Amino acid sequence: MSKYTEIHPDGQRAYQFVADTAYIRESGTKGEHKAAEYILKEAEQVAAQTGKSAYIQTPRMEFFQCPDFQQKKAELVICQPYEKAYPVRAYLNGACTPEEGITAPFLFVGKGDDISLSKAKGAVVLVCDPIREDMINKIKAAGALGFVTVCGTPLDQGEDRIPTQYRRKAGDLPGASVHYQDAVEIVEKQASLCCLNIQQSEISRNSANVAVRILGTDFPEEIVTVTAHYDSVPEGPGAYDNMSGGAMVMEAFHHLAEHRPARTMEFIWFGSEEKGLVGSQNYVKSHEGEMSSHVFNLNVDLAGQLLGGNVLGVTADPTVCAELKTLMEENQLGVTIKNQVWASDSNTFAWKGVPALTLNRDGFGMHTRHDTVEYISPRALEEGAKTLCTAAAWAANEPEFSFEREIPEDMKRELEKYFA
């Protein structure tokens, strides 16, 4: 294990990277395309400045189609004991109702406990929180015809009163989200009959990954990837989630371009992560022939806010955690290390058998209009980038790993469920 005293990322430069892309970058939109061009240009400039064209390949874009869903109609009308329409947004990747909607009893079921759901047959149910597939399946098994979930807080005003749109595999069950304040009124007035109308269609979006490769000196046949997604949700510009991560990957590219690694390194900025890790899945598919050469993935997702702590979520054998712990201690980098599956692009690599980690930092505003550059800190970016660069330098230069290139069986099962 080594001390990497030569690592000096530039927090102000990283902050400028985030500030320059402080606009909404939803998959397939002009904002995402603009950001991809910006990242490509930055990578080209780094490669040109180093004058190392002999071992830095030309930065490139890899284009792909991102399947998606588009809301055409989302309506919730309470019919009894009063009449009122409430603003809702559809759960994308769920079912549509008949064109005329579903008129059915309306039932509040709290958090979806068994006793409450025992009365849900033939009803549209209101559930307290945004839900995932396990609860959706539970609601369906109870015989419900559709569901509405609650988002937001009682303090929200103005734009924050717009319901959040969620993307879930809801099968043939239509669903929608309603704001907290409206949900309170619905429950207080004891809504008993409703009409839910959800219409959506499948579409395809043009998206791209941006990548650049540095050829290794001693083990060029072994590949280490350093990754982050650069797209955002439509609700906000995604400074914390996740252009700060993209900036830190660029800082790692700056460092490794100047300090040529022993292993080949690929730096990748993924598009369409917010649509279900689509960019990273397209990457491993298009590079399927070389995936057996990939030995480690270092991913960043959620970064750059000042108050918080850095976490390494390691999806690999516990031995990797032990090595990283020693590495961080020797380099006096404060991190928390967790041995678990992480819901980000590192999962895509782990799913293919590649040991992987995600660097993550506490923060707020994710998936809202409040996720802006004003809450990003150059100091936090610099600290995070130093942690990333140190781990990347270790993965790129360690002569021999003490762990096998494999994923523990319990994590394999969790990943299979994740990608099912």
Cβ atoms 283, 270 nearer than 8 A = yes
Cα 123 from Cα 363, distance rounded (Å): 38
Phi, psi of 28 (to 5 degrees): 80, 0
User: How high is the pLDDT of residue 132?
Assistant: 85
Cα 172 from Cα 37, distance rounded (Å): 39
**Could you tell me how far CA 24 lies from the centroid of its own chain?**
15
For the chain, domains (ranges, CATH) are 11-57+215-418 (3.40.630.10), 70-200 (3.50.30.30)
Cα 198 from Cα 313, distance rounded (Å): 37
Cα 145 from Cα 102, distance rounded (Å): 8
**Which among 385, 253, 394 has a CA at the least distance from the CA of 327?**
394
Cα 99 from Cα 199, distance rounded (Å): 7
**Is a pLDDT exceeding 60 seen at residue 1?**
no
User: How high is the pLDDT of residue 2?
Assistant: 65
Q: Evaluate the omega torsion of the peptide bond into residue 87 and state whether it is cis, within 30 degrees of 0.
A: no
**Could you tell me how far CA 17 lies from the centroid of its own chain?**
19
pLDDT winner (highest mean) among 53-62, 133-142, 295-304: 295-304
Cα 84 from Cα 104, distance rounded (Å): 15
**Is a pLDDT exceeding 80 seen at residue 201?**
yes
Compute the average pLDDT of residues 159-170.
85
**Which among 334, 354, 350, 333 has a CA at the least distance from the CA of 342?**
350
**Banded pLDDT at 184 (limits 50, 70, 90):** very high
User: How high is the pLDDT of residue 50?
Assistant: 67
Cα 377 from Cα 110, distance rounded (Å): 39
For 210, the token pair is: 């941006």
**Which among 291, 304, 297 has a CA at the least distance from the CA of 347?**
297
Q: What is the pLDDT of residues 325-337, one digit of tens each?
A: 999 999 999 999 9
Q: What is the pLDDT of residues 360-409, one digit of tens each?
A: 999 989 999 999 999 999 999 999 999 999 999 999 999 999 999 999 99
DSSP of 17-42:
HHHHT-S---TTSHHHHHHHHHHHHH
**Banded pLDDT at 172 (limits 50, 70, 90):** confident
User: How high is the pLDDT of residue 175?
Assistant: 96
Cα 218 from Cα 250, distance rounded (Å): 23
**Banded pLDDT at 94 (limits 50, 70, 90):** confident
Cα 216 from Cα 392, distance rounded (Å): 13
Phi, psi of 245 (to 5 degrees): -65, -40
Report CA dihedral (308, 310, 315, 321) to the nearest 10 degrees: -130
For 254, the token pair is: 């700056």
Cα 353 from Cα 71, distance rounded (Å): 36
Average pLDDT, the chain: 95
Local structure of residue 163 (DSSP, 8 states):
P
In angstroms, what CA-CA distances link 18 with 24, 113, 129, 373?
Answer: 12, 43, 32, 7
Local structure of residue 145 (DSSP, 8 states):
S
In angstroms, what CA-CA distances link 54 with 47, 58, 308, 340?
Answer: 10, 10, 40, 38
For 370, the token pair is: 């409040």
**Which among 56, 61, 90, 49 has a CA at the least distance from the CA of 73?**
90
User: How high is the pLDDT of residue 129?
Assistant: 84
